[in-house]
Amino acid sequence: MAKWHRLRKRIHVLCFLIFLALPFCNVVRFDIPRQRFYFFGYELWINEFGIIFFALMFLMFVVVVASVVFGRVYCGYLCPQMIFSEASAALQLRLRRWLKPRERLARAAFYAVLAVASVFLSFIFIAYFVEPTDLARRLATLDIHTAAGICGASVTLLTFLDFAFVRLRFCTTVCPYGYLQGMLSDGNTLLVHYRDKNVECIECKKCVRDCPMGIDIRTSPFQIECVHCGECIDSCETILARLKKPGLIHYSWGVEGRSRFRFDAKRIILALVVLFYASGLAVALSMRHAVLVRIAADRATLYRTGPDGRIYNHFRYSIANRSQKPAAVVFSMQELPGATLALAPNPVAVKAGETVQGEFDISAPAGRRAEFVTHFNILASTIPDPVTEAFPLTFISPTEAQ
């Protein structure tokens, strides 16, 4: 018995460990000070709109599909608010039992432990937006003067108040996901369903007493407070097992009480949308160059004639190294015979996470150009990654050179 409770607690521990690990392993972090989005080890710059768009749309549709198919199972099994609210209530109860009958001491001990836990949880939460070592440095210096420090102190205070007083009231009042779920569920969504065709309920009300949300599932399977945790299923099975009868509350797909998941047109379309964004994300990531090179001709002056009689065109470049290791770019030319590229040093070195900008001239002998505009390529080869990009550009010569 209590199988759903045991499963839920195991998943809670796993989720807690994942919650701790994600920002430290750069799996997910929206690094606000650095303007970077870390996604499964990729360090994406904020201007990499395509990849960030596909990543966010993919995550959003995963949440939508999970809600349409599994209802509020996320709330009961995976949500940090639920996990820490239940942990806080369990801790309070345990301290009361240990320190009985010293009620005041138990309360003081609970608030002291919760204060330390709030600092820790806030640290992990903010690490989803600020690099953890930077955050640890701010915490060590008790920074409450800068915007980030004030934000950290506020989050700690809110965390403390939340898990001391609000807890699961948050789920039934302000949580937007609960309201969204109500709109997304349909006749095939997973429900916690009470069925009693033979009127076997003994009115013990254990399912009501054990419900963390304080509701009676027997009145309706569509109550917005129900987080589909399954505690009432365990309660009813435990009680009726003593009478050698099966429980009256079950997980079921839809109100007809189906025990099997059924694909319908809506679910197939949603699966295709998730597949579309997953494929878009995979393609965008596979096409991504860690070192982004841009080259453009400076046409403030079309060309100039140098003291050596050669024709000069001016160009600008920028190199953004979006990787976590140093890189260099070698520039060379293609299809412009007799021309020289005046750039020193070449290769251009770029440190990890930096952007370098610069200018260079390309010169060609006067009178050799057959046309006013000559099309050619500049090749940018990245070291150490063996990536070579060709930039189609134009070289402009004076008309009298024809």
Binding site for ligand SF4 (CB under 6 A): 192, 201-207, 211, 213, 215, 217-218, 226-232, 235-236, 239-240, 248-249
As separate numbers, helices (DSSP H) first and strands (DSSP E) second, the chain gives: 12, 14
Nearest one of 372, 349, 376 to 362, comparing CA atoms: 376
Which is closer to ligand SF4, CB of 185 or CB of 363? 185
- 244 CA to centre of own chain: 47
The 10 Å CB-count burial string (b at 16+, else e) for 209-230 is ebbbbebebbeebeeeebbbbb
Residues 185 and 69: their CA atoms lie apart, in Å, by 8
Shortest CB 189 distance to ligand SF4, Å: 14
In terms of CB distance, is 16 or 251 closer to ligand SF4?
251
Min CB(293)–ligand SF4 separation in Å: 55
CA distance 284 to 359: 30
Q: How far is the CB of 220 from ligand SF4 (least distance, A)?
A: 10
Whole-angstrom CA distances from 160 to 84, 137, 142, 154 are 11, 22, 18, 10
Where would I find the H helices in 287-392?
A: none
Cβ distance to ligand SF4 smaller for residue 235 or 397: 235
Nearest to ligand SF4 of 175, 319 (CB atom) = 175
Contact of 302 with 399, CB cutoff 8 Å: no
> How is 217-265 classified by DSSP, letter by letter?
TTT-TT-TT-----HHHHHHHHHHHTTT---SEEEEETTTTBSS----H
Q: How far is the CB of 273 from ligand SF4 (least distance, A)?
A: 29
In angstroms, what is the minimal distance from the CB of 97 to ligand SF4?
Answer: 23
- Which one, 213 or 378, has the nearer CB to ligand SF4? 213
Beta sheet of 373-383, edge-to-edge order: 348-350, 327-334, 373-383, 387-396
Is the Cβ of residue 250 or residue 314 nearer to ligand SF4 in the bound state? Answer: 250
Q: How far is the CB of 167 from ligand SF4 (least distance, A)?
A: 14
Residue 73 or 339 with smaller CB distance to ligand SF4: 73
Q: Distance from CA of residue 298 to its chain's centroid? A: 40
Q: Which of 292, 295, 284 shows the shortest CA–CA distance to 382?
A: 292
User: Among residues 121, 164, 126, 162, which one has the least CA distance to residue 143?
Assistant: 126
- Supply the minimum distance, in Å, between the C-beta of residue 256 and ligand SF4: 19
Least CB distance to ligand SF4 at residue 77 (A): 11
Of the pair 227, 293, the CB lying nearest ligand SF4 is at: 227
Q: Nearer to ligand SF4 by C-beta: 207 or 336?
A: 207
* CA separation for the pair 17, 39 (Å, rounded): 18
Q: To the nearest whole angstrom, how small is the minimum distance from the Cβ of residue 275 to ligand SF4?
A: 31
At its nearest, how many Å lie between ligand SF4 and the CB of residue 250? 11
Query: What is the total residue count of the chain?
Result: 402
**Closer Cβ to ligand SF4, 40 or 222, answer by number:** 222
* C-beta neighbour count of 51 within 10 angstroms: 20
